[in-house]
Amino acid sequence: MRISKTLLLCTVALAGMTVPMKNALADVKPNSIPANPSMKQDASKPVVVSTNVDGEPDVQTTGVAVFDPVKITVNTDHFTNDNLLTPDGLGWTEDTEVQIIKGHEVGEINNQKYWGQNNPQEPTIAYSFAKGDSGRITYVGKTLSGVDLDLIYTIENTDADLWEQYSGLNRIKVPRGIAFTGEQYLANTNNNSIVVLYNGANSVHLKYQIVKHDSFDEIPVLVSFITTDIDVGQGVATDLPNLAAVVPGTTNLSFQDGVVYDGSHTGPYHYGADINGSEGLPYGGYLGVSFQSHFNYAFLPQHRRMMIFIALPLGSVMIFSGQHYKLN
C-alpha cells in the first residue's frame, strides 16, 4: 500500500545536530554503482552529501496529504540499489509477522474498552518486554536490488516497576507487554504503518535494526517516515530522523530536551488531545528522513503526574514509506 508523496520537517535534536523548523521534501539521486549481491561495499562507503528541503506542510488538509507540498532532495555518493527501497517503502505487509528472538508471548492484547480507537481489528499478540527481550518483524520492505528486509526490535529499558506501583490501571486484566500490528488493522485508517502498542509501562525504550530477511546482517537504507499519534501526554525521543525532520505549523506538539511531546491540555483530565493515528494529521505527528541501519526509539510520558493516576494504555504509530523519494 502506498502513502501520499509528502514529507515534513521539525525542530528536533538529532544525533548531535539540530534541524531548523522548516519543511522538507526529498529527491534522491542514487549513484550508478551496481548493487553488490553480497551486501558488501567494495568501493567507498555510501554517504549522504547533503539534504535540502522545500515547501511547507498543508495544514488546511488532513492525513498524510498534509505533507504533499513538501519536497526533500537528498544528494548521495556511492549509493547502490542495496541502499534504496522499492516505491512501497517500509511498512506492514501481507507477509509480515512477529517472531520472538528472546522473551515469550503474554496473550492477546485486543480490548476495545481499553484501547478504544487504537484497538486492532485482528487478533494481536503481545510479547514480554523485559530488558533484553527482542523479536523480528518480518518482510517490512524490499531494496531495489531485491533484498527482503526485516526489522529487529530489542527492549533497552522500561519503567514497568513504577507503572505497577503507581498506575490506576494495574488491576485491569489486559496483558502486560508490547505488540506490533499494521495500521490497516485499526478502525478508520487505511495506511500500512507499523503500529506499536504496549501496556504495563509508561516509558519504553527500544532499539531497532533494519536487517536482511532471516539474518542479523544490518543494511543501511534511505527512508522517509511519519511518526503519528503522539497524544494524551505522550512523548517520543528518537535518533531516527538523522537527515531531516518536519512538523506542520499547526500542531499539538512541543519540543524540549530532545523529546517531541504532546503539549496540549484538552482531555477530560487535562492530559492532552486524543488523536487517531495518521488520520489526525496535521496534529500528533511529524515526518523525517533517515539513512542508517539501526536507531533508538523511546516512548516517554511528558507529565510526571501521569506516572501516578493515569498510566494510560500508550502506543504510537510509525509510518515508513520510501515512496516519498523521487529518484533521478
pLDDT digit string, tens, across residues 216-242: 999 999 988 887 767 666 778 889 889
In this prediction, residue 22 carries a pLDDT of 30
* Percent of the chain residues past pLDDT 70, beyond the cut: 72
Q: Which residues pair with 298 in a beta bridge?
A: 205, 237
**277/172 Cα distance (integer angstroms):** 24
Query: Which of 143-176 are b and which e, b meaning 16 or more Cβ less than 10 Å from the residue's Cβ?
Result: bbbebebbbbbbbeebbbeebeebbeeeeeebbb
Closest of 297, 309, 288, 321 to residue 51, by C-alpha: 288
pLDDT digit string, tens, across residues 54-96: 899 999 988 888 988 988 889 999 999 999 999 888 989 999 9
Query: Which of 181-219 are b and which e, b meaning 16 or more Cβ less than 10 Å from the residue's Cβ?
Result: bbbbbbeebebbbbbbbbbbbbbbbbebbbbbbeeeeeb
pLDDT for residue 17 is more than 80? no
Q: What is the mean pLDDT of the chain?
A: 76
Higher pLDDT, 297 or 98: 98
Instruction: Pick the range with the lowest mean pLDDT from 91-100, 139-148, 263-272.
Output: 263-272
The predicted model scores a pTM of 0.79
In this prediction, residue 38 carries a pLDDT of 46
By the 8 A CB rule, do 56 and 82 touch?
A: no
Domain ranges of the chain: 92-244+251-319
Instruction: Pick the range with the lowest mean pLDDT from 142-146, 240-244, 256-260.
Output: 256-260
Closest of 4, 1, 3, 5 to residue 327, by C-alpha: 5
